[in-house]
Amino acid sequence: MTLVKIRSWTFESLFVTTVIGALYYPVTGQLVPNCASTLGCFSFPLHTSCPNPDEFWSPTAVLGGCCPGCVRGLPLGAQCTAGQRTEIPTSSETPCAPGLVCGLGSVCRLNTGDCLSTHHVPDSVGWVPQCDSRGRFSPKQCRGDHINGRCFCYSAEGKRIFGWAWRNRAQSMTCACSRHRADLEAEGKFDVTLHCTPDGNYEELQCNQGVCWCADTATGFQNPGTRAVPQDLWTLLPCYNETLHGVQYLRRCESVAFSQSLQRKQFIIRGHTGVTFTDTLCDYDGSHGRYIIEGQEAACTWRDGTKLSPYKTSLRTLSAMNCNCARDEKLFMLAGRKMELACEGNGNYVPLQSRNGALFCVDPDGYVVAENVPSETNCERFIFGGQDLAYSNVSAADPPACDSSYGCISSIRQEDCGKGEILISGGSLNGCCPGCRGGRTYLAVCNLNIPDRRCAPGLKCVGRKCIYDRSTCLHTMHLDKDLVGWIPKCNLDGTYAAKQCRGDRLSGRCFCYSEDGKRIFGWDWYRNTEQMTCACSRRRDKLEKEGRFDVTLHCTQNGNYEELQCDSGLCWCADELTGSVQLGTTVVHESLWQLLPCYNSTLHGESYLRQCESAAHAQKMILKKFYTRGTVGVTFNEIPCDYDGAYGRYKVENGVVYCTWRDGKKIGSFQIRSSMLSSVNCYCARDTIIYREAGIPFTLACGGNGNYEYSQDQNGQLFCVDSDGFVVTTEVAPNESCDKFIYNSAFYDED
């Protein structure tokens, strides 16, 4: 195995060290420095390489981690033991060198989040970031010559962040503000309002967390002779300039972004994690960020928020988008300079560039890293962090990581699986792609502790026997298809498909189902279901199962979203298929719902809630007040409403359950005592009206409770139907139960 050549690197060899606050270790008789000292470690430099080839420089090599020196370690590409760290080992095993990590395949790989990894890259890499004396990424990284070159701000993890300047003007550039904001955001703090200058330094006037002060532009510390004030007194600060700062500290982009953040927070609190907004990103100086997200697309933008056409991408590939080239194109034009490099469609620099017939590679900042390369060159091998350089030093490739923005493209079907195998998500390529998985069959002897005796997907091992796992849709794959009349469609993750269709495409119907296989609101004739997603019905069902009983989302008859939506005090124009906010529209307070462009006075009237919803909502609010006061014994006759605001399938009056139509009127004489409510669905009772209105003869028998009778008899011909009224078998003997022909009947409940 040929290891990558390690670059020669010099360090400050420790000969004289002054340590403040040392501790005495009685066992060894050594002074161990206290590294919390404000003075830290003083070392007199002597430029030299580590003396031995298996030693590497580390900023925490000696004196209890206080001072730099040489440590033993394994080089890039060497075989290692998983779990080894780059610190001083506690065992006899040699760890990977500082800047490396023992990764997949038990091979020492570059840890590009550690600046010390720059000491291990091969000479082919055109540029590596600079490290400070403590082995961390320097905040300011400069490229090019002193006339046309530029300097950029970098985070502690080595990522380019906000802030840049022409190299000949970057003498006082510290990037302190940009680095501080990036550190805070890495901690999950996204309500930071510190303002940075274009070069990453601090602006003089700062406000954050309700306090304002005049700051030193290099450090952000409060200027001597000034005082910090509450935010409402910010205009009294000596560094305030009315012309420069105006009447509001937050800039336009920040105001919009904070408003969106508050709206999003309200939605999340109320359980609406699936609703998306136009996402406004702002830079650290308050101007618009590199891109804007609208629906399922992201477009590169300039500082004023205008789009930089034609550069855009889908949300699926957003993580790979930086818009550096798109922005530089505008920047060079405004500066009167000519930019000769090509941009990709997403606004990034094209890695492989061409000029006068010569091919060369550039990095994400647009700087040349390799010249005169062949046309088939993969430029990533010349870019720091562009690829895992350890791959070139191992004989076998490791399983791929599944964090690719491209996802997995696969055409595999259940029909492609072998006998006894089930197609599941994550079944192949180390969990990246769908694949076929087998295992012990139904009723076979099993053992969870022995891999080749585990049950197949959809089964569970109980009492050393594989039985149906009815918590997953995949259990239906093990049912006897010659016996069970209909089996629902499953998703690869084991949930039930949202849309389940029955019968032929002319007279058949499709119904909405929950993830756990329960029929929920929403249906349509099979021939009309090309755009049927059931997304709204699924969303309402999920929210109600989570305890939200005041949901006011409106679904269409087929389970999709109505265009105008209100919930949790907010209203918006929604995409019919997803419920997301329509492009070019905004979210408003519920009192302003009639101002939305999707509002129609004829269609929507004066009140968003429909008649049934108004009564049910008032009832639920009264119950909620009782509960908050500790009164839990109060009951009302429940008013069930469907997800489109019409009356539900039944109502309860005086201890009796009646089947009802959408207008709230009773259907025929279908009724049952309220103690049997859990068994009532009224599907048959409602279908008598649905089929009559469609001009289709209805010949099936309903039970007294409005459900379909499983056993049917037409002119002496016996057959079975399921709860949706579709035939599951025509081969049934007199007095024979239909349960075994119905996939979700009690016949298959083995727990």
Give the mean pLDDT of 518-546.
95
Give the mean pLDDT of 576-598.
90
3-state secondary structure of 25: strand
Structure-token pair, residue 656 = 């009796």
Give the mean pLDDT of 246-267.
84
Q: Which of the residue ranges 29-33, 98-102, 365-369 would you say has the lowest mean pLDDT? A: 29-33
The model's confidence at residue 394, banded by pLDDT at 50, 70 and 90, is: very low
Asked if 613 and 641 count as a contact pair (C-beta separation under 8 A), the reply is: yes
Structure-token pair, residue 705 = 């409770």
pLDDT at 674 over 60: yes
Q: How many whole angstroms separate alpha carbon 422 and alpha carbon 457? A: 7
The pLDDT assigned to 218 comes to 94
The pLDDT assigned to 25 comes to 36
The most confident of the ranges 313-317, 418-422, 543-547 is 543-547
The pLDDT assigned to 72 comes to 86
pLDDT at 32 over 60: no
Q: How many whole angstroms separate alpha carbon 547 and alpha carbon 744? A: 25
The model's confidence at residue 4, banded by pLDDT at 50, 70 and 90, is: very low
Give the mean pLDDT of 677-704.
95
Give the mean pLDDT of 368-383.
89
In the chain, the amino acid numbered 377 is T
Helix %, strand %, coil % of the chain (to 5): 20, 25, 55
The pLDDT assigned to 652 comes to 92
282-321 per-position pLDDT tens digit = 999 999 999 998 877 889 999 999 999 999 998 878 888 9
Nearest CA-CA partner of 388 in 132, 157, 120: 120
The pLDDT assigned to 47 comes to 40
The pLDDT assigned to 624 comes to 75
Asked if 206 and 212 count as a contact pair (C-beta separation under 8 A), the reply is: yes
The model's confidence at residue 384, banded by pLDDT at 50, 70 and 90, is: confident
The number of beta carbons lying within 10 Å of the beta carbon of residue 276 is 18
190-209 per-position pLDDT tens digit = 789 999 999 999 999 999 98
The model's confidence at residue 26, banded by pLDDT at 50, 70 and 90, is: very low
The model's confidence at residue 548, banded by pLDDT at 50, 70 and 90, is: confident
Average pLDDT, the chain: 84
Q: Which of the residue ranges 237-246, 618-627, 689-698 would you say has the lowest mean pLDDT? A: 618-627
Q: Which residues pair with 347 in a beta bridge?
A: none
Asked if 250 and 193 count as a contact pair (C-beta separation under 8 A), the reply is: yes
Rounded to 5 degrees, φ, ψ at 532 are -80, 120
How far is the CA of 250 from the CAs of 170, 246, 282, 491, in angstroms?
A: 27, 10, 11, 46
Residue in the block written with tokens 């139960």: 737
Continuous segment of H or E residues that includes residue 32: strand 30-32
Give the mean pLDDT of 622-651.
82
What are the sequence ranges of the domains in the chain? 11-119, 140-255+287-390, 414-611, 618-748
The pLDDT assigned to 2 comes to 38
The pLDDT assigned to 133 comes to 76
pLDDT at 720 over 60: yes
343-352 per-position pLDDT tens digit = 999 999 999 9
Q: How many whole angstroms separate alpha carbon 246 and alpha carbon 468? A: 68
The CA R_g of the chain, rounded to the nearest whole Å, is 34
Nearest CA-CA partner of 687 in 718, 733, 636, 722: 722
The model's confidence at residue 115, banded by pLDDT at 50, 70 and 90, is: confident
Give the mean pLDDT of 268-294.
79
Give the mean pLDDT of 542-567.
93
The number of beta carbons lying within 10 Å of the beta carbon of residue 158 is 22
Asked if 317 and 291 count as a contact pair (C-beta separation under 8 A), the reply is: no
The model's confidence at residue 431, banded by pLDDT at 50, 70 and 90, is: low
Of 78 and 699, more confident: 699
Of 621 and 230, more confident: 230
Q: Is 149 exposed, middle or buried (0-12, 13-18, 19+ CB in 10 A)?
A: middle
The model's confidence at residue 261, banded by pLDDT at 50, 70 and 90, is: confident
Q: How many whole angstroms separate alpha carbon 424 and alpha carbon 437? A: 7
Cis peptide before 224 (omega within 30 of 0): no
Nearest CA-CA partner of 502 in 525, 478, 470, 536: 525
Q: How many whole angstroms separate alpha carbon 560 and alpha carbon 533? A: 6
Give the mean pLDDT of 737-748.
91
% of residues, the chain, pLDDT over 90:
53
Give the mean pLDDT of 2-18.
38
Asked if 277 and 264 count as a contact pair (C-beta separation under 8 A), the reply is: yes
Nearest CA-CA partner of 532 in 581, 490, 577, 496: 577
Q: Which residues pair with 689 in a beta bridge?
A: none
pLDDT at 84 over 60: no
The model's confidence at residue 6, banded by pLDDT at 50, 70 and 90, is: very low
The number of beta carbons lying within 10 Å of the beta carbon of residue 734 is 7
Asked if 62 and 69 count as a contact pair (C-beta separation under 8 A), the reply is: yes
Asked if 647 and 663 count as a contact pair (C-beta separation under 8 A), the reply is: yes
The pLDDT assigned to 273 comes to 61
pLDDT at 38 over 70: no
Q: Is 175 left (phi over 0), alpha (psi -120 to 50) or beta?
A: left
Give the mean pLDDT of 587-611.
93
The model's confidence at residue 89, banded by pLDDT at 50, 70 and 90, is: very low
